[in-house]
């Protein structure tokens, strides 16, 4: 009986050890520089950070446009160098200041976490958005509801509520976050099969069956159609200043 009890205790101890190792959060942003990330801005070569758009100040990853005269559709993204498949991702973001001159109306207080994305190196020089799934981040405009944590599908398609969804964006059921407050956003991603969007602890959107296909990317890169099981993570520069902090990932094996 004693040996049996010891065996059971050893088994649970071993399981606990494995679980704690598997559920370790790892920071993707070191708070000091952009090591581990690669910039790609429309019209500029990979790695050229035009206008110091993406920068690190005060321990924050900032998106800024103070060196722009006009936005001129220079959509930018900063990509993780590593590719991921199944994971939890969490980040805090806030919108600050004024939108740069020339930014589109829809891009006001608008950013996003692009995941299962093509790499920066595989984008065309003048490509606007990477083929990816976008967890859209929106700030309120002070006039009405503007939920965050919606989904958009540049060059991709998904299923929502068991139905094939081919339009570009689907709105979440989150509340509106006005002003410059920090907002906590989380993603739970299981390869191509299931994704949850979580805002301030509430699941605001769920979808399934991620695939490559559809429009809203120009020019279209040569990426094979089919299930979208993995890719890079990217943050956007769509014309409104944004701050990010605590960008962390937990791989789910």
* Residues 65-82 pLDDT 10s: 999 999 999 999 999 999
Q: What is the pLDDT of residue 1?
A: 52
Angstrom distance (rounded) from CA 154 to CA 148: 18
For 178, residues 6+ apart whose C-beta sits below 8 A from its C-beta are 139, 140, 141, 142
Chain centroid to CA 204: 15
Instruction: Calculate what percentage of the chain has a pLDDT beyond 90.
Output: 85
Q: Is 4 exposed, middle or buried (0-12, 13-18, 19+ CB in 10 A)?
A: exposed
Per-residue confidence at 15, pLDDT binned at 50, 70, 90?
Answer: low
CA distance 114 to 124: 17
| Stretch 72-93: mean pLDDT | 98
Output b/e per residue, 79-100; b: 16+ Cβ within 10 A.
bbeeebebbbbbbebbbeeebb
Q: How far apart are CA 142 and CA 145, in angstroms?
A: 8
pLDDT digits (tens, 9 = 90+) for 150-168: 999 999 999 999 999 999 9
The model's pTM: 0.90
Q: How confident is the model at residue 2 (pLDDT cuts 50, 70, 90)?
A: very low
């Amino acid at each position: 009986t004693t040996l049996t009890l010891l065996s059971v205790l050893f088994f649970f101890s071993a399981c606990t050890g494995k679980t704690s190792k598997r559920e370790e959060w790892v920071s993707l942003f070191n708070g000091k520089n952009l090591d581990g990330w690669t910039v790609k801005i429309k019209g500029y070569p990979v790695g050229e950070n035009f206008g110091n758009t993406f920068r690190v100040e005060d321990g924050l990853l900032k998106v800024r446009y103070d060196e722009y005269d006009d936005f001129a559709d220079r959509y930018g993204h900063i990509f993780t160098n590593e590719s991921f498949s199944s994971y939890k991702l969490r980040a805090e973001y806030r919108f600050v200041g004024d939108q740069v001159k020339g930014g589109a109306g829809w891009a006001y207080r608008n950013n996003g976490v692009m995941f299962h994305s093509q790499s920066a190196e595989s984008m065309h020089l003048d490509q606007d958005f990477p083929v990816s799934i976008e967890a859209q981040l929106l700030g309120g405009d002070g006039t009405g509801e503007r939920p965050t944590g919606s989904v958009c599908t540049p060059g991709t398609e998904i299923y929502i509520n068991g139905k094939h969804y081919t339009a570009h964006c689907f709105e979440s059921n989150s509340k509106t976050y006005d002003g410059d407050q920090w907002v906590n956003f989380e993603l739970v991603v299981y390869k191509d099969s299931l994704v949850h969007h979580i805002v301030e602890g509430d699941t605001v959107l769920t979808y399934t069956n991620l695939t490559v296909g559809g429009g809203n990317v120009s020019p279209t890169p040569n990426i094979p159609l089919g299930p979208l099981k993995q890719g890079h993570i990217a943050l956007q520069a769509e014309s409104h200043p944004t701050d990010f902090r605590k960008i962390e990932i937990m791989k789910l094996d």
